[in-house]
Amino acid sequence: MKILKLDNSDLKTLLTRWNETRDLFSPVEGNGKVGWQRIEPLAFNEPAEGVPRASIKVFFFPQPETLLEYSTRSGDRDAYVPRPAMGKGRERIILGVRPCDARSVMLNSLPFANDPYFKVRKDTTLIVGFTCERPCSTCFCSWTGGSPMGTEGMDIAMTKIEGGYLAAVLSEKGKELLGHLHDTKEASPEERKQLEALRKQAQKGTGPAGSPAEILRKKALMDLYNATFWQKLADSCINCGACTFLCPTCYCFDIQDETVKGKGRRIRYWDSCMFPLFTQHASGHNPRGQKIQRVRNRFMHKLKYFPERFGPLSCVGCGRCIRECPVNIDIREVMRDLLSIQ
């Protein structure tokens, strides 16, 4: 992995150049509400500690995604004939992405590997990550297989040091982005060592011992499913979708046709396993008709079903659900409870 040393003016030059052919996005704070916005290159500020309120999934699972378009005007020759609506659009660079959010893109790629819409979004998006100097108290990326210094899912990973940044080049696209700086700004052996030391330091996590994903994969599914603590969670939960909609690795969707004035579109939009209609059958039967079943499913999916199918947990430890849950349901407690089941 090539490591470069960039100073602030290098970064400014790069941003200005990137902006010529691509759209730049970064977390922007305004009115107390932190979200992602398109920015002008010189407006970029290093992100404040922690993650923006909205997760990076807004770029990969647009709300909504138009899948098909069609006309419902009977006079039209192609009435009711659907046309794919997959616009490639301009390439975009997302700046200031934290390691947890970047890793979520990699995790979401596992179930969405063959999804053409996701693939287009992924192919046209470059991620310039910023590693975390100071994790928040709700951060627990190291429990889930990530790290505050993690680089998974990024094209370039920036780490702030005295007088600038160390930039790890992680993909061919990342290399292209850096242009001639790639060959002229290589970091010194001391600077490489400094980065190595920071990475080692970040490994010292505070979470449960061992790999939760591995331990939970080995536990018997029904033991976890029948645990008694689910009732307590359901007692507190109000079954809103705040956790799932803020979560970078909640990707469940529903599909609907919307027709307005003869123009139709088939959209894919966010759904939440917290909502009763999520599993409602056409017959009226609902296999997850009770709140407790829905609460359990959210955690079992992230912490058991997904790891069984794909390996890692479907959680990156960003802590958004913990911070914003109106009734303080804390996934770290759920993980501990599940891990303690013998």
Euclidean distance between CA atoms 71 and 77, whole angstroms: 9
Among 72-80, 157-165, 201-209, 232-240, the segment contacting another protein (CB under 8 A): 232-240
Beta bridge partners of 167: 4, 158
Euclidean distance between CA atoms 94 and 37, whole angstroms: 9
How many residues at the interface with another protein, by CB under 8 A?
A: 48
* Cis, peptide link before residue 64, omega less than 30° from 0: yes
**Residue 28 or 149: which CB sits closer to another protein?**
28
- Tokens, residue 219: 């536990």
Among 74-82, 132-140, 162-170, 206-214, the segment contacting another protein (CB under 8 A): 132-140
Euclidean distance between CA atoms 184 and 36, whole angstroms: 32
Give yes or no for residue 207 binding another protein (CB under 8 A): no
What's the closest the beta carbon of residue 293 comes to another protein, in angstroms? 13
CA-angle at 87, arms to 84 and 88, nearest 5°: 135
> Measured between alpha carbons, how far is residue 232 from residues 123, 226, 228, 291, 294 in Å?
43, 13, 8, 11, 13
Among 42-50, 89-97, 147-155, 182-190, the segment contacting another protein (CB under 8 A): 42-50
**Residue 278 or 310: which CB sits closer to another protein?**
278
What's the closest the beta carbon of residue 3 comes to another protein, in angstroms? 29
- Tokens, residue 132: 């975390």
Give yes or no for residue 185 binding another protein (CB under 8 A): no
What's the closest the beta carbon of residue 301 comes to another protein, in angstroms? 18
Give yes or no for residue 270 binding another protein (CB under 8 A): yes
**The dihedral formed by the CA atoms of 243, 249, 250 and 254, expressed in degrees to the nearest 10:** 150
What's the closest the beta carbon of residue 132 comes to another protein, in angstroms? 13
**Residue 253 or 305: which CB sits closer to another protein?**
253
Amino acid at 281: H
Give yes or no for residue 137 binding another protein (CB under 8 A): yes
Give yes or no for residue 337 binding another protein (CB under 8 A): no
Asked whether the CA dihedral 276, 282, 285, 287 is positive or negative, the reply is negative
Give yes or no for residue 277 binding another protein (CB under 8 A): yes
Select the residue interacting with another protein from 41, 64, 205, 207 (CB under 8 A): 64
- Tokens, residue 134: 């100071």
What's the closest the beta carbon of residue 272 comes to another protein, in angstroms? 7
Composition of the chain by helix, strand, coil, percent to 5: 40, 20, 40
CA-angle at 342, arms to 243 and 288, nearest 5°: 40
Give yes or no for residue 236 binding another protein (CB under 8 A): yes
- Alpha-carbon Rg of the chain, whole angstroms? 22
Give yes or no for residue 161 binding another protein (CB under 8 A): no
Select the residue interacting with another protein from 39, 97, 329, 338 (CB under 8 A): 329
- Tokens, residue 211: 């790999």
Give yes or no for residue 235 binding another protein (CB under 8 A): yes
What's the closest the beta carbon of residue 123 comes to another protein, in angstroms? 23
Select the residue interacting with another protein from 106, 241, 293, 337 (CB under 8 A): 241
Edge-to-edge, what's the strand order for the sheet holding 83-84? 83-84, 65-71, 263-270, 253-260
- Tell me which residues touch another protein (CB under 8 A): 29, 32-33, 35, 48-50, 53-54, 63-64, 134, 136-138, 232, 235-236, 238-242, 244-246, 254, 256, 258, 267, 269-270, 272, 275-277, 291, 322-330, 332-333
